[in-house]
Chains A and B, each alone.
Chain A
Amino acid sequence: VVPPNADDRAVRWQISFPESLATRSWGTDVVLHDGATRSVHRLDAFSAAVLDVLKAGPADVAALTNDLAARFDLDRADLPEQVERVCRELGRRQLIEPSRP
């Protein structure tokens, strides 16, 4: 569940059901199946990369940004906004959720 009006950059995100995700990719196109909710999602490469980073454990936007920038040699200028947007979308789809303390 995406927290309303929260400072999304402070939220630590985690994958809702890490054991139940399966992906199939062709080039930069990814199709993801969530066995827990039996739902299917079409993702771009960046969203799939965010999920991939979160597989290692909960992370906030800053940590995700650092990891993604290092992995893919990305320009950090707009990256936090992009990561934040993707996290919101993945949260809306119930693929990730705020990490509980």
Chain B
Amino acid sequence: MAMDSAMTLSAESSFHALETGFTRAFARSRAAIAEFEIVLAARPVRLRVVGDGLGRWISRPFAHLRRPLTAAPPALRIDLWEGAPPSGVPPMPASPMQPSEILASDDARWLSQRKPHIWMAFDRHASHIVVWVADSRTLTAYEQGRPLHSQLLRWHADVGVPVVHAGMVAIDGDGLLIAGPGGSGKSTVALACAGAGFAYLADDYVGLAHQDGAYTGHSVYCSSHVDAQHIGHFPAAAAAARRSGLLTTEGKALLFVTDMPGARLDATATLAAIVLPRVRGGITRVTPATQVEAMIQLAPTSLHMIPLASFSEGFARLSRLVSATPAYWLDLGDDVERIPRLLAPLLTARLPRLEA
């Protein structure tokens, strides 16, 4: 009977089961309880974590966004605990790569995503995410680099800072959005720039706020996933990847840019231009791109990745973005070390620090 009632868990009851589980773990735990604050989309986000390993997991990708606890009411609360699952809920059959079980309430207020080793539920009205993790040592490299990916993308859209599938780097607060489908070279470009004096915001996901005619990019994660065979081009990134020692199932090295010697990370930047990398061979060069080309590079993956998002609204939003922002192709050749020198003039006449 317990199984039957568990099988009919709704998204809302999933959230409440997790919330109750967290409250008990928080009250009973003799393990370390951490409470800290980060800034996402220019808003305070408060995290409460029960479990040492879990604390290390959740804090690392947001290390660049952390700030001392404030009295400000959080725009988002995230509660996490590690250990025994909520009582009365049978375990899912274990299969490491099986797709998540997804539940959403009819009104889309409640959202639950469950795997055998991790269960996340989101109450969008209350801006509250609760997470259970069986054992933080079993989290995949992807989960370690981009924790709570779907829930945070949904929340960013809820607060008017929808995330696009792009990287971002900046000089003196002026940013380049690096857009393209998987395999186009976004991470290569972001890491090349991060190693040459640009500030790093993202290699794959960046929130974009639009206000008073300007777009502001907001960093989410300081992690980067780069093709292991390309990382040799970037000694500082290679050092960071060795430190993390993690490989994704796609054969990409996971690194935290905070571990890159000399790297600077920014939380926000004002968008100046869109760069569209594509692997071409030969000599790396920059040429103007049209609005249609920018839309085709940016829209397909950006539109699909936000859970419960309206394609029509997203399509119109990206159309406004490409109409308002100059775009350039970056044809990637064999001389990737030239990337920062080619991109810096799109932002400023001054070359980045290490290229001068």
Query: Do A and B interact with each other, yes or no?
Result: no
